[in-house]
Every structure is written in structure tokens, then in C-alpha cells.
Structure 1
Amino acid sequence: MKQFYQIHPKDTVVVALQPIPAGTVLDVDGKELTAVNDVPPGHKIALKEMKQGEPIIKYGFPIGTAARPIQRGEWVHTHNVKTTLGELLDYTYTPDFHELEAIAPRSFQGYRRKDGKVGVRNEVWIIPTVGCVNSIVKQIELQSQQFLTPELDGIFCYTHPYGCSQLSGDHVNTQLALAGMAHHPNAGAVLIVGLGCENNTMEQMKKVLGEYDPERIKFMICQESEDEVEEGVRLMEELCRYASQFRREECSVSDLVIGLKCGGSDGFSGITANPLVGAFSDLLVAQGGTSILTEVPEMFGAETILMNRGKDRQTFEKTVDLINNFKKYFMRYGEEIDSNPSPGNKAGGITTLEDKSLGCIQKGGTAKVVDVLSYGQPVSQKGLNLLQAPGNDLVASTALAISGAHIVLFTTGRGTPFACPVPTVKISSNTALSQKKSGWIDFNAGQLLEGRSMRDVAEEFFNFVVEVASGSKRAKSESLDKRDLPIFKDGVTL
């Protein structure tokens, strides 16, 4: 294995691929570079002397400036680098995108719903309108397991603490989240359970839902039932019978919607796992499919790349609003825009938010941006979409599912076991993690550092995701608890 990796020819740093002790002499394009300090794997080494205030280039873009003079061969990290992120900025639309060459779409085995949508799982879901009935829906879920058939992939309730004592935007977010779940094609049938006195009334929920199939979605208000668990189980028997009529059939991958997310990133994430997911996204979009990129705070510092990939000026303006409105959200609470990266990110070699963001957006590949979605808005345009959601793993991954993602591809350098309501595929940035946490990790992108080409690994990974979509393989997170519904909150609770 190589000792270091230079991502872009313009970079003024290289990334250590293994521990490099002080005094180690590296051969960089035929020139000797002596490590001044011990450098951990995933961390950066200066290729040249840098004056205080001089930009530090990684991925071909600045990730910050030198906080003090930096020697050639010195370890480059938080102790000698500072961010240059500002607050609200003005942007100019300079289109910089290309059309992907179309590819004949492959097929997978999915569930074709009566409304024409396609699902990759055939589950029955129980969704509470308010957190007060969480214990009830858990009991209904437990007692309804008797109705499982070979045609059903599972029966799950999705609990949350919201639906009452919420105002304005938070109230709307909860309703949009629940409606997005109710309409999700991975659910063959849905039971929506309310209490009866919450401000998220069943009448309001039905208005937000819009048109629905009464055979597929049923409702129950606990205060109106003498035995709410018994009534819920009776309704679930009907719903399970309805959902059991669906069978897998051949579907085009152009029907797939895939969410793109990262968490617990390290210095390898932007070199291996994120570019691999970006290559997957390009392959999917080239076949007429759809991908969704989120984590708006982890676009800060790399936002102009996405803005200039907007398909037109309107999409550019929507991306500007996406970025600046999320900055205003930080500012309302007196928080620093560059509150990221996390301690774990820094330990793994990520120095500034620009460093993290430039690695993060690699997941979006090279396709043009076709639309920008607000939180809870269902995806409607095929191609690469941007979605308003925070960086938090659980909230952002669930936001992707709410907007219609069938599967979430989750890259990580440090590992995480969590699962969101849809299959959550974990891709490790390094081989050591995939070996240590084999019960969490589905695919190892670390092999890109071991001689395999991106073309070959991307093809293998695409085939793997198609198998997950077809049900012939399961994401490892599907065996874990996925019964929470983290909803984005911003505001007063009464």
C-alpha cells in the first residue's frame, strides 16, 4: 500500500495512508519530502512551505488558510489551519456542468404499486400522529406479527415525540414527515394512529396526505375506541392481507431513488467512499434514475461547485437560498457557521468545514443539479437533487426517506450501526473498519487504496445496490432496530 495520496495536482498537501513517523522520507514525484512530525493515517502533510494566511489546497480547492507559517513536510491540521468561511455571501451563476452520457437502464426486482410507484421492500408500517400513542403503536406492532406472510418483509411502527405542542414550521415539518412516510412505496400498507386531542389532528393529516388509497391507508383515533390495541390489530390484519397481494416484478433502475449521506467521516472518506458513491450516482442518473444529496451544513465551503452545476438560473437561485437560509438558521441561535467538523472527524484527519464539505459533496458525482427540495418535499424530477436537511445522521437519513429515497447509501470512516426507515447501506472508507465492524459495514471502499480501479469497484458496488433493491441481499442495518422517526425541529415547544 502506498504511504500517501495526492487527490488533485493543484493540492499543496498529501494525505497519509498509513502512520508516517517523523523523519520518514517520502518520494513525491521524484522529489524527497521529509516528514517533520509523526502524521496519523488520514491526516495531511504539507508539500511546500506556506506563509501565514496562505491558502491550503486539497481536492483542488482551498480548505482554509495557514494560521501560522507551515514548514514543508509538516503535519497540517487544526493546530496550524483556520477556516475562511463567512456568513451570508453573494453568489454569481457561472454554469459549470456537463450532460452525462445516457446508458440503457438495467433492471431490478421491485414492487409495483397501484399508483405506479415502485418499492424495494413490501412492509406494513404503523405511524403515530403524536408521540402520546407511541406505547400503543408498539403494542399493535408486537401483536400484529401474527399476520406476517412470506410476501411481507416486515411490520414496523415508527415512533417520535412530536405531533402536539408544536408551532408553525415545526408543526408543518411533522405533518410533512408523516405524510412522506405514509406515501412511501416501500410500505405496502400503512396504519395511521392518533390520540384525539393533539393539535396534529387526523383531519389535518388527511388534508396533508391528499389523495390516498383507502385499502392501503387506514386510520384510528385511540380516544374513540374502547380497546385501541384490539382495534388496531384488527385493522392491521386487513392491511397485511392487502399488502400480501404484491409480488416482486421486473422494474427499471430508472425507477430507483437513492439517498446519499455520510457520517463519522475520516481523512479517507473524500478519497474512497464518497467518490465511490458519486460514481454510483452518476451511473444511476445516466440510466434515468434519481439521487438525493443532503446535509446542507456540510456543503458550506463547497457550495459554489453545486450552485454552478445547477441546470439553470432558477436551480442556481434555489441552491443559493438553500445555503443562505441554513446559515440564517445557525445565526438565529448564535451558533458559528463552522461549528463542524465533529471531534471524531478531526481525529480522523478532517481539519476544517471546507475540508469536510469538499469531501462530502463527492457523493453527488458530476451530474448537473436538477432540483432543490425543501424539507419533507417529495422528489419529482429524475437526476441529482439537493435536499434541505441538517448533517445529523438520523435526521438527515430519515429526511431522505421522507422525500422518497428507497435506499440510503451511507459512507463512514469510523462506523455506525444506525438504521433509518429504508435500507441503509454502510460503505467504509477504509479496509480496517470493514474488517473490525463487519457486522455494520456492507461494502468496503478501502479497496480503492489497494490497487483496484474506480471503474471496477463502482461496477461491483452498483450491482450490489441492485441486489439490495431486489431483496436478494439485505443491508446489515436491516437486522437492527429502525423503529424511530427523527424529525427536523426548529422552534418553540409549548
Structure 2
Amino acid sequence: MNHKFLQIHPQDNVLVALTDLNVGEIIEFGGKSITLKDSIPAKHKFALSKIDQEEYVFMYGSVVGKAVSSIPEGGVLTIANVKHEANSFSEKTETTGWTKPDFSRFEGRTFKGYHRKDGQVGTANYWIVIPLVFCENRNVEVIKQAFIDELGFGKPNPFKSLVQQMADLYKSGKKEQIESLVVEELIQESGPKLFKNIDGIKFLTHQGGCGGIRQDSDALCALLAGYINNPNVAGATVLSLGCQNAQPSILKDRLAKINPNLDKPVILLEQQKEGTENKLLSQAIKQTFIAMAEADQYERKDAPLSKLTVGLECGGSDGFSGISANPAVGHVSDLVVALGGKSILSEFPELCGVEQELINRCVDNEIANKFSKLMVDYAASAEAVGSGFDMNPSPGNIKDGLITDAMKSSGAAKKGGTSPVVDVLDYTEYATKPGLNLLCTPGNDVESTTAMAGSGANVILFTTGLGTPTGNPVTPVIKVSSNTKLAERMPDIIDVNTGGIISGEKTIQEMGEEMLEHIIKVASGEIKSKAQLLDQDDFIPWKRGVSL
């Protein structure tokens, strides 16, 4: 790889700057000299040759935009001279072949996980407390306050000490000394735990369950059922008010649909039946404690890597994400699939422009048609309220070189590797088929990771170029940096740095294998992901309105 610029695909008519390039600088490429007409910040793109107005812009060998004004050879691409444009798609036109990667390094390897009676294997062992309706959030918080510190899951809060010091200085008339106070490092490990084999008790509050459309409360029940069924969950305490749309019967139906043979403790209490809050909370706390003591009997045991279900996510992406972090994660996906495991690629707005490739990778027409319909319906719902996939890039994306949705999508899709698509899942459907699964979710980081855990992911790889603190309550989220500067600037949230691909020190395959080694350690409980250490327990159900 040239360490100053890169042509991703031979058909591309733009080059990517790998470092800051100066106006007037002469670039040698393809037997010709290109004089840069603009300064090109690292991660941004410039024209390989003149791009006329209305001419397509190609990256990754695909259409990623259209010039709204003429772009000179060596000119920078911006939102002022390029607009969103993407390849169209139709029915399945061919069947894409696949050659498995060399996975000999991982043949016969295992991780130490929690074996559930239904055959799933967890990479963690959590108890969850969930409300069926937002009215119960307060009671969930009361249970949280009662349990966390007493069971040894709490951590000292240095910011509490900071506020106390500031208050003391203020009261003593020494306000000028506040700026000089030094905050202690966050304590990332909890104290001695009462239950040695339980990784934590998680509290999944939300704002749904009633007051909206019935489809939203039904989807919420299906999502919560997926969390209860997730192999990382030992059991659940569910609080219901009683009169809400999200009825316990709907949750039970969704559980039966996902797993008719579910054999996990589920404590379900209804406030309007129990009576006072005191009675409800006393019952919830006592029954939860007793059930957690039973769940503590689970121990980690060897499991084949085929028991991994890896979620594939990106957030805070930059112009390097599609070159380093995403293809490296794609190689992990291919390795896991080759070993008999599952991977889940979500964020449908960020598959815009690569639909035909994914359709042709589907193993049959039925799956391909389901994907097409979900994409068409999603795009139509966005357009119906005056939005659209073209509005997906965030200001941060644009600032760091992703100026159209198709450009962002072409790089984001690299997380899915090259393996066949074995299934397409609508929101809240559970992944059961080994191989690559496509899951319909928004591009919103938390809504997407929330959905993947609900569809059975027992570990999530999350690529970022700008830095984002997203985590999940029950599934370890491993953050993958696209560039070294980010990894050095935000070491508290980054687990794996793929910046070596940009500098030429590492190949995509080498980084993918390193990443899978890291997954095995996290899945075995040998190390925790940074998101776990920081208790980044983000949980946002998707209301099936428009969210990109």
C-alpha cells in the first residue's frame, strides 16, 4: 500500500488520502502525474481524473455519488460538489461463489463459556431485571440500588469524591482552587463479588410498553424475549404494571416462539396484583436473590468456536473505516462462519448501494427477496416523512471524509466479509442458522447493538474512526479503531487498533486473526472489553418509525 494515498478498487475514479496532502503537491499514480488542486485532509478523496458534472463517482468499484459540479483532476470531493447516488438493485441475478479463508490457526480451538440447556453457549453470565413498561422504571432503579453494592458489583465513583471536594472548597471560600483539583482514574473492576460465577445483574430500563402503537409494544416484547433467550443471560426478573399494552402474555408468546423449550428462570411480577410497592419490591428482590444463587452454579467450560455469534457494528465512522477496521472485521466474520459459527450484519440504511452484491450472496431466492422487500419498505418509510438514506451520514462522518450515504455504506458493508448470506432477519427475529445473517435495524449505534443482542449475538465487534462509548448490558462489545491516532487519544474505549493496516505494518488478514484471538479471550472471561469495564450498558429499543 502506498502510504500517502490509496485506490481501493481498480474501477475507482478517486483516490483516498492516507495522510494530509498539500495543494500543489504532485502525486504519481498509474503512469501519470497529478497536481493537487486543493489541500486534501487525510481520509478525504480527490479526483484521479476530471469528473464532469453529473458524472458518477466510484469507490469500492461501486457508484457512491454524482458530481453536482465539475471536479478537476486532483480536486477534493466535498458535499458541495458531490451528492448521494447509489447502484440500483433487482432480483437475484447470480449466485456468488465463496472460498473459505485459511482458518487452520483456529481449528479445534475453544473458548470457556456458559453452556445452556438449549445448546447455546454464553460468553458471560448475567441476570437481567427488565420492566414491561416505563411505569416500572422507578421500581427497577430501586432494585438496582438495593443489589449493586451489596452483591459486590458496584465500583467507587471518583466524580462523587470530586463533587465533595468542590463543595468543601466552596463552603470554605476557596472557589479559585477548584480548577486545580485532580480526578482519580476510574476504578474499572468491582470489589469482591458474592456470586463468583455471575458477571453482573443488569437493569434494562426503557420508555416503551404503552402509549404508542401496538406494533411498538409487540416489538418490545419480542426484543425482551430475545434478551431473556440470549445465551449470556442466566435468567430474568420482569416487572409489569398490569394495564399496559406490553402484556406478560405477549412476552410469553414471544418467548415460546423463539425457544419453545426455554429452560431458564423467569420471575414475572405484576404491581397491580401485588398491591403496594413494598410488597412488589420485596418479592422481586427475594425471588431474584434466590434465583441468582442458583444461576451462580454455572461454570465456564470449553466450547467450540462454532458457538460464537458475532454481531458486526460500526459507529462514529471515518474515511479509514472502510479500508482498515471494517474489512478486518469482515475477515473475522468469514473465519467465524468457516468455523461453523454465526455472524450478524445489521444497519440496513448503511447497506444502501451494495444491495445487489448482498442479494447475489443470498443462498436462495426466498432470502434474497426478503432482503429486497425490507430494504424497499424501509427506504419508503423514510421518504414518506421527508427523510431518506441519503441523510444518513452524520456531521462527524462528513468531516472525516464520508460525504454520501453510499460512500459510507460501501465501506460499512465490508464488515460482512465475503461469505454467503444464509438468512435475513427482520427486527427482533432470532439468529438460528450458522453463517452470515442480515438483520434489519437502523444505523443508530445503540438501537442496532440493542437489536443484535436481542437476536442472539454473544459478542459484538464495533468499529469506529471517531470514537464512541457505546456498549450493551448483556453482550460484550469490543471496540475496533480504524486509525492509530484514535486508539492513542481514547485508550479507555478502544480494545483493538487496526491503524497498522493504514501504515502498512499489518495486513487485513493478520488484523482479523488478532481480533479473533481477542474475541476468544473476552468470550472466555480472561479479559473484559473496555465497554464492560466502563459499564457502558446502552439499551434503546427501536420504535418502528423512521430512525436512520
Q: Report the TM range for the smaller structure's normalisation.
A: over 0.9
Query: Which residue is 2:70 aligned to?
Result: 69
User: CA offset at residue 482 of structure 1?
Assistant: 3.9
Amino acid at match of 2:127: V
User: CA offset at residue 248 of structure 1?
Assistant: 0.3
Q: For residues 290-309 of structure 1, what are the alpha-carbon distances to aligned partners after superposition, in whole Å with 9 as ceiling and x for unaligned?
A: 00001001111111111111
Amino acid at match of 1:82: K
Equivalent residue in structure 2 for 1:462, among 509, 516, 528:
516
| Alignment partner of 1:429 is 2:478 | no
Counterparts of 1:168-207 in structure 2 under 5 Å?
Answer: 168-207=214-253
**1:127–1:182: 8 Å Cα contact kept in structure 2?**
no
The structure with the largest alpha-carbon Rg is: 2
**2:126–2:202: 8 Å Cα contact kept in structure 1?**
yes
Q: For residues 443-475 of structure 1, what are the alpha-carbon distances to aligned partners after superposition, in whole Å with 9 as ceiling and x for unaligned?
A: 101111122122222211110111111111111
Q: Which runs of 5+ in 1 are unaligned?
A: none
**1:89–1:324: 8 Å Cα contact kept in structure 2?**
no
Amino acid at match of 2:286: R
TM-score by length of 1: 0.95
Amino acid at match of 1:433: L
How high is the sequence identity, in percent, across the aligned residues? 37
Equivalent residue in structure 2 for 1:280, among 332, 346, 352:
332
Query: Which residue is 2:163 aligned to?
Result: none
Cα separation, 2, equivalents of 1:215 and 1:403: 17
Q: 1:101 to 1:27 in 2, by over 3 A?
A: closer
User: CA offset at residue 491 of structure 1?
Assistant: 5.2
Equivalent residue in structure 2 for 1:254, among 306, 321, 334:
306
Cα separation, 2, equivalents of 1:204 and 1:63: 43
Name which of structure 1's ranges 50-59 and 77-86 shifts more when overlaid on structure 2.
Answer: 77-86
Q: Report the RMSD for the aligned CA atoms in angstroms.
A: 1.8
Name which of structure 1's ranges 197-206 and 73-82 shifts more when overlaid on structure 2.
Answer: 197-206
| Alignment partner of 1:113 is 2:166 | no
User: CA offset at residue 378 of structure 1?
Assistant: 0.5
Cα separation, 1, equivalents of 2:100 and 2:264: 41
Query: Which residue is 2:162 aligned to?
Result: none
Cα separation, 2, equivalents of 1:391 and 1:292: 14
Q: Counterpart of 1:76 in 2: which secondary structure? A: coil
Cα separation, 2, equivalents of 1:194 and 1:212: 23
Amino acid at match of 1:468: V
User: CA offset at residue 479 of structure 1?
Assistant: 2.4
Amino acid at match of 1:439: D
Q: 1:310 to 1:92 in 2, by over 3 A?
A: closer
Equivalent residue in structure 1 for 2:133, among 112, 130, 155:
130
**2:218–2:246: 8 Å Cα contact kept in structure 1?**
no
Amino acid at match of 1:129: L
Cα separation, 1, equivalents of 2:425 and 2:528: 28
Query: Which residue is 2:4 aligned to?
Result: 3
Q: 1:430 to 1:214 in 2, by over 3 A?
A: closer
| Alignment partner of 1:440 is 2:493 | yes
Count of aligned pairs: 491
**2:27–2:34: 8 Å Cα contact kept in structure 1?**
yes
Q: Which runs of 5+ in 2 are unaligned?
A: 152-193
Cα separation, 1, equivalents of 2:544 and 2:195: 40
Query: Which residue is 2:540 aligned to?
Result: 486
Cα separation, 2, equivalents of 1:491 and 1:347: 28
Cα separation, 1, equivalents of 2:262 and 2:353: 44
**1:276–1:454: 8 Å Cα contact kept in structure 2?**
yes
Q: For residues 31-52 of structure 1, what are the alpha-carbon distances to aligned partners after superposition, in whole Å with 9 as ceiling and x for unaligned?
A: 3221110111100011111221
Name which of structure 1's ranges 28-37 and 63-72 shifts more when overlaid on structure 2.
Answer: 28-37
Query: Which residue is 1:162 aligned to?
Result: 208
Cα separation, 2, equivalents of 1:442 and 1:484: 18
Counterparts of 1:321-400 in structure 2 under 5 Å?
Answer: 321-400=373-452
**2:389–2:405: 8 Å Cα contact kept in structure 1?**
no
Q: 1:50 to 1:395 in 2, by over 3 A?
A: same
Q: Counterpart of 1:75 in 2: which secondary structure? A: coil
**2:101–2:334: 8 Å Cα contact kept in structure 1?**
no
Counterparts of 1:208-247 in structure 2 under 5 Å?
Answer: 208-210=254-256, 211=260, 216-225=265-274, 226=276, 227=278, 228-247=280-299
Cα separation, 2, equivalents of 1:91 and 1:77: 33
Cα separation, 2, equivalents of 1:215 and 1:112: 12
**1:85–1:338: 8 Å Cα contact kept in structure 2?**
no
Query: Which residue is 1:449 aligned to?
Result: 502
**2:430–2:455: 8 Å Cα contact kept in structure 1?**
yes
Q: 1:465 to 1:24 in 2, by over 3 A?
A: same
Cα separation, 2, equivalents of 1:112 and 1:431: 37
User: CA offset at residue 179 of structure 1?
Assistant: 0.7
Cα separation, 1, equivalents of 2:269 and 2:254: 17
Query: Which residue is 1:38 aligned to?
Result: 39
Cα separation, 1, equivalents of 2:89 and 2:302: 47
Amino acid at match of 2:478: V
User: CA offset at residue 29 of structure 1?
Assistant: 3.8
Q: Counterpart of 2:485 in 1: which secondary structure? A: helix
